[in-house]
Amino acid sequence: MMGVQGQQQGRLFYLGVDINKRVRKDHPLRRVKEVIDFDFAYSEVKDCYGGNGNVSVPPPVIFKLMLLLIFYNVRSERELMSTLPERIDWLWFLGYDLDFQIPNHSVLSKARKKWGAEVFESFFERIVMQCIEAGLLDGRKIFIDSSLVDANASNNSVIDSKKLKHQLHKRYKTLEARLEEKSESVDPSRGYVKKNGRYISSTDPDAAIVNRGKAKLSYQVHRAVDGQKEIITATDVTPGDVNEAHLMLPLLKKHHETTGIKAEAVVADSKYGTIDNFLACHDVGIRAHIPDLRETAAKRTEKSGIFSEHRFEYDPKTDTYRCPGGNVLKPKSLHMDRQSRDYAAPKKTCAACQLRHQCTKNKSGRTIKRHLRQEDLDRMREASRSALAKQDIKTRQHLMERSFARSVRYGFDQARWRGLWRMRIQEYLVCAIQNIQVLIKHVFKPKRGIVTQPLATGTVSMASILSMVAAVGDFLHSLIKLNYVVNEA
Ligand code: SF4
């Protein structure tokens, strides 16, 4: 008989409602709650609060609210708070009851301002440590890459700071004050320099215009990922126009500080294959599995019909080069700023050379640049062409793309807030969540071969189907054999 729904009438009281029972056993938030101890927030932020005045929302609850915001990629804090009373699982996760007074959305922005990005960095580092304790991190081979993130500002907000019209405008004075504030907050030890200081967004001065097909205000996220289970071990955010190669060493340093494990090999794409990076890796004893930029440049030179530097043979005994024309290039000028020396043949020799059109377009003849630490560089470059390095470079592409693609689920590709330090908070939370996901997967891994679900009556398991197929096969085989024996007889 068909059931008919009566007129819906809300009950005045609900007795015996256990919010804990309403959240399923394998709910992801239940697992997060079991794995992560949010009480650490009390000790982390205790100095940010005074002894008197209004009682704040407990810091672990604020942390959980921020985590929900990113985990479910909720558009805004207002939306999070207005959705909260409708979500039993969120209420349970926060330790709230059904009729609990929901805090105002502003508690989150106030807490961010009060705590700063360091608290969130510390949270991220704690998760990395938990991953190490769970045996999910090897730490010896690190993959590095960066990705652009759209800033939370319109292109229309960009102004040319050199135009007098803008400088005379009232709004520019406020912007200038903010810029001064910003430059104080930028830590030069982080290893980056913003390229474009002329065009500035008046709504988010930390973001930079990046033109990759389409000009956009962007930030750049830099990550170091461990090869074993793809745990993010170090991360940083810079304005979008920063050269990512400058961030390689700071990331390696952060990886070491956070994990306590020294990387033995770093894997990155050709943009990181600079002389400085190769030599820095050499000095700290790290293998650089990075495609050599010089190789690409040499191929390009050969393609254009000019001899590449590979064609010039160096003789360490005489400290000279021998060119394809068989002439000697002797050391000339020394450039301390770029740590290199120029080698050249006499001007007259090059002028009279028959191979000149294949060697140089310069009227004074061909010059070869040699770095003062060329032997170390050559050794590092040689290692970057090994079979293992090539394999790592291949792996890197998919591994890093996966890491960034997973972050898109948490809204990583769009800045939620404005300002570099807020962007860092967003990135720490996204990376922490990604690592938590790996941790949960590992901790709650189903035990293999112990429990098998009993089959319902009338259903046939795959194993029994396979055994039936095997029995039929055996039967046919014996029939064929019998037929063969009869024919033989
Ligand atoms: S142009 Fe000069 S450097 Fe080049 S092959 Fe001729 S002599 Fe040698």
Nearest atom in ligand 1 to 353's CA: 6
What are the residue ranges of helices labelled H in 186-317?
248-259, 275-284, 293-303
Which of 307, 309, 314, 327 has the most ligand 1 atoms within 8 A of CB, as the residue to mutate? 327
| Run of H or E residues at 370 | strand 367-371
d(CA 27, CA 181): 44
Token output for 392:
């790592």
**How remote is the CA of residue 325 from the centroid of ligand 1, in Å?**
5
Q: Is the separation of the CB atoms in 212 and 108 below 8 Å?
A: no
Is 132's C-beta closer than 6 angstroms to any atom of ligand 1?
no
Cα R_g (the chain), whole angstroms: 32
**Residue 150 identity:** D
Alpha helices in 134-220 (DSSP H): 164-168, 170-185
To test the ligand 1 pocket, which listed residue (306, 313, 332, 359) has its Cβ within 8 A of the most ligand atoms?
Answer: 359
Prediction pTM value: 0.82
Backbone region of residue 285 per phi and psi (left: phi > 0; alpha: psi in -120 to 50; beta: other values): left
> Which residue's entry shows tokens 């205790």?
46
The CA 353 to ligand 1 mean position distance, Å, reads 6
CA distances 63 to 66, 111, 113, 172, 409, Å, are: 5, 9, 13, 36, 19
**Is the CB–ligand 1 distance for residue 345 below 6 Å?**
yes
Helix (H, G, I), strand (E, B) or coil at 272: helix
Q: Whose CA is nearest to atom 7 of ligand 1?
A: 350
Q: State whether the beta carbon of 368 lies less than 6 angstroms from ligand 1.
A: no
**Residue 194 in contact with residue 246, Cβ under 8 Å?**
no
Domain residue ranges of the chain, discontinuous segments joined by +: 19-115, 138-291+384-420, 305-373
3-state secondary structure of 198: coil
Ligand 1 centroid–CA 27 distance in Å is: 72
pLDDT given at position 472: 55
Question: What are the average pLDDT values for consecutive 10-residue runs of the chain, which has 489 residues?
Answer: 77 80 92 93 91 90 96 96 95 91 93 94 95 94 96 86 62 62 50 65 88 88 95 95 92 95 94 92 95 83 90 95 94 92 94 92 91 94 93 94 95 93 96 96 69 42 47 54 48
Distance from the alpha carbon of residue 278 to the mean position of ligand 1, in angstroms = 30
Residue 288: CB within 6 Å of ligand 1? Answer: no
Cβ of 19 less than 6 Å from ligand 1: no
Chain-centre distance of CA 186, in angstroms?
21
For ligand 1, whether the C-beta of 349 sits within 6 Å is yes
Question: Could you identify the atom of ligand 1 that is nearest to the CA of residue 356?
Answer: 1
- pLDDT at residue 452, as a whole number: 40
Q: Is the CB of 340 under 6 A from ligand 1?
A: no
Q: Is the CB of 221 under 6 A from ligand 1?
A: no
Residue type, 442: H
Q: Which residues, 6+ apart, have CB-to-CB distance to 43 below 8 Å?
A: none
**CA gap 136, 200 in Å, rounded:** 42
